[in-house]
Copies of this chain bind each other. A is one copy, B any other.
Amino acid sequence: MSKKEYTVPGFKAGAVAAGIRYQGRPDLALIISEVTAAAAGVFTTNKVQAAPVLLSRSHLTGNRARTIVVNSGIANACTGESGLQRARSTAQIVAEAVGCPIHEVLVASTGVIGMDLPLEPVSNYLPKLVSSVRDDGWLDAARAIMTTDTVPKIHIVRGLLQDCPFTVLGIAKGAGMISPDMATLLSFVATDAAISPDALQALAREETDRSFNRITVDGDTSTNDTLFILANGFAGNRPIENLDSSDGECLRRALGEVLLKLAKMIVADGEGATKFVEITVKGGSGQAEALLAARTVANSLLVKTALFGEDANWGRILAALGRAGVDLDPQRVQLFFNEVKLVEKGRAVGGDAETKVSKILKESSFSVTINLGQGKAEETVYTCDLSLDYVKINANYRS
């Protein structure tokens, strides 16, 4: 898709190279709604929460906002009262430049923990940025929020609500510190659909749970994870109040697709990742058990290094299931790579199954399906392999 096609009525976006920590690349992004929009936020569950998370949470108490300002390079986490003041000053600078109350500014940061966020680049470059945001500036914003990401992440869905065309557009960044319960993951979504703030917040939570909370790169969660959704009502539909209505379902499908697509892009671009793997656990004795089993497999270092080695090491998958703390009878377990059954009744099926699976493992994307044979629950999580590059990237991140 060309940059021109990434637009949402009533929104502008853009980015600038402010030199906050990176040199010669955009690192400050801005998203502005022409009018005050319904706003929803979902934040990290980590007890160590970055200053922008604390500030934005307080700004969202009314569930309305006009603008989102984001910097990459420095996370403004573990920076105490001074960090909170710097986040507040950033919001103040934006509020003045945009001409809105400070509580309508949402702030997010990503990057190194523990370093002070310099305010000079923000105050120097922000006014320029406010005047340069454009309808089709979303891809620039998606690039500016990258840290160790190798590609910008953007997705757009268009649909109809009561015969009114509407759009949902999202951008995201991820790469490392990615685990269920949100991660060093920022995602910003804009829609022109009209929806009540309460319904939007409920929808944000539910769809986050089906997308970003189903992915894992390394099992670590971050101090800065943030999803913001702004809905400015430019589509002209009657505002959605009830998520179970057909309009609610329609917006849910569009938003769900955007979030899941972005979540999968984050895993596929996980630090050092060479494989995107969909792990489905069927036959669980309950949803929580199926999810826990899938997450334990998806986070196992031994499974992830075997995936990197293109080794159909099903024994490690069984060993991970065995320590997951779920109901398990090894004799009942079936295991598939794509459609090929490799394990039946807890044992390798033999024959040419391993040869077929070896071919599948050479692909860059495939699925692992485990049937526990305990019940009817099914859950899927998305993960990547653990490569030499993951270690290289994270051994040298601050240098």
Contact = CB atoms under 8 A, between A and B. Distances in A.
Interface string A208-237: 000000000011111100000000000000
A284 to B, nearest CB: 14
Interface string A65-82: 000000000010111100
A319 B394 contact: no
B311 A396 contact: yes
A113 interface: yes
Interface residues of A, number: 61
A395 B45 contact: no
A177 interface: yes
A302 B388 contact: no
Contacts of A46: 319, 322-323
The residue in A179, A218, A315 that gathers the most chain B C-beta atoms within 10 A of its C-beta is A315
A320 interface: yes
B113 A318 contact: yes
B78 A48 contact: no
A313 interface: yes
Contacts of A346: 48, 78, 80
Contacts of A10: none
A304 to B, nearest CB: 9
B322 A47 contact: yes
A386 B395 CA distance: 9
A330 B48 contact: yes
A169 B399 CA distance: 45
Nearest to A385: B395
Nearest to A113: B315
A66 to B, nearest CB: 30
Interface in A231-263: none
Given A78-B330, A114-B315, A302-B177, A323 B220 contact: yes
Contacts of A388: 388, 391-392
Nearest to A45: B323
A158 interface: no
B391 A308 contact: yes
Nearest to A305: B394
Contacts of A127: none
A275 to B, nearest CB: 11
A309 B391 CA distance: 9
Contacts of A179: 323
A323 B114 CA distance: 17
Given A309-B396, A331-B80, A314 B347 contact: no
A59 interface: no
Nearest to A219: B301
A18 interface: no
B176 A347 contact: no
Given A77-B315, A112-B315, A301-B301, 18 more contacts: A45-B323, A47-B323, A48-B319, A48-B322, A78-B330, A80-B346, A179-B323, A220-B323, A221-B322, A301-B390, A301-B394, A305-B390, A305-B394, A305-B395, A306-B394, A311-B396, A387-B391, A388-B391
B347 A80 contact: yes
A300 interface: yes
A54 to B, nearest CB: 11
A388 B387 CA distance: 8
18 contacts: A46-B319, A46-B323, A48-B322, A48-B346, A77-B315, A78-B346, A78-B348, A114-B348, A176-B302, A179-B323, A219-B300, A220-B319, A220-B320, A223-B319, A301-B394, A306-B397, A311-B396, A388-B388
